[in-house]
Chains A and B, each alone.
Chain A
Amino acid sequence: MDGKVKGPGREKAKNMTRTERIEARLRESFQPRVLEVIDESERHRGHAGYQDGGESHFKVTIAADAFAGMSRIARHRAVHAALGHDLVSEIHALGLTISD
């Protein structure tokens, strides 16, 4: 490790929203050309998994060279890994559109 405060610690210090944490982790891992993180929670108000204040249902569109040559499953797994178990388990729904 490089001694820099990474991931959860730094995010907590900055009091980041889930949307910001998703963006930060994906930027750090993939240096994407395109990154769009949309909080779709309001569309799911009243449905299972809706949480007060939103940030439960996300739609992410990401394009990065890092995904070249990877299968669909491998791309999704890479995104899951970059987000980390803690963040993935906080989110009720995560729609991913991934391209290279």
Chain B
Amino acid sequence: MSAEDTIRKTVTENDVVLFMKGTKSMPQCGFSSRVAGVLNYMGVNFADVNVLADETIRQGIKEYSDWPTIPQLYVKGEFVGGCDIVTEMTLSGELDTLFAENGIAFDKDAADKIREANA
């Protein structure tokens, strides 16, 4: 299967996917760590794809998303953004809305705590 097919299958079969450096339990980059940390803290069930483990995926996801950097978050097959965008959307509450609209379970109190801590 080509990298593109693998990526399409992954983002289609999983509601929330984070393409990252390292894994959600052991991130290998500060930006990946931040996004995985937010999702973990919000109790979101997500699939993590370690791009460092597969060079074809690492290059393939950049082309698939037309986005040059890692991490990359997908929700229901749609590209949401990288670390800056996910951070902004977490703080503005847009990420809550996106999850709610897509029927993805998350801990609203935890999301509020992130916002309080960063207010």
Identify the A interface with B (CB < 8 A): 47-48, 72-73, 76-77, 80, 85, 88-89, 93-97
Contacts and interface: CB of A to CB of B under 8 A. Distances in A.
B28 to A, nearest CB: 7
Contact of A73 (B29, B68, B69, B79): B79
Interface residues of B, number: 17
Contacts of A47: 30
A17 B105 CA distance: 46
Given A48-B28, A48-B29, A73-B79, A95 B84 contact: yes
Interface in B33-73: 66-69
Given A72-B89, A73-B85, A80-B68, 20 more contacts: A47-B30, A48-B21, A48-B28, A48-B29, A72-B81, A72-B85, A72-B88, A73-B79, A76-B81, A76-B82, A76-B84, A76-B85, A77-B66, A77-B67, A80-B67, A85-B68, A93-B69, A94-B69, A95-B84, A97-B84
A96 B81 CA distance: 12
A94 B82 CA distance: 11
Contacts, number: 30
Given A48-B29, A73-B79, A88 B85 contact: no
26 contacts: A47-B30, A48-B28, A72-B81, A72-B85, A72-B88, A72-B89, A73-B79, A73-B81, A73-B85, A76-B67, A76-B81, A76-B82, A76-B84, A76-B85, A77-B66, A77-B67, A80-B67, A80-B68, A85-B68, A88-B68, A89-B68, A93-B31, A93-B69, A94-B69, A95-B84, A96-B84
Contacts of B67: 76-77, 80
A93 B69 CA distance: 8
A40 B29 CA distance: 15
B83 interface: yes
Contacts of B89: 72
Closest CB pairs A-B (n = 7): A72-B85, A88-B68, A96-B84, A80-B68, A73-B81, A95-B84, A72-B81
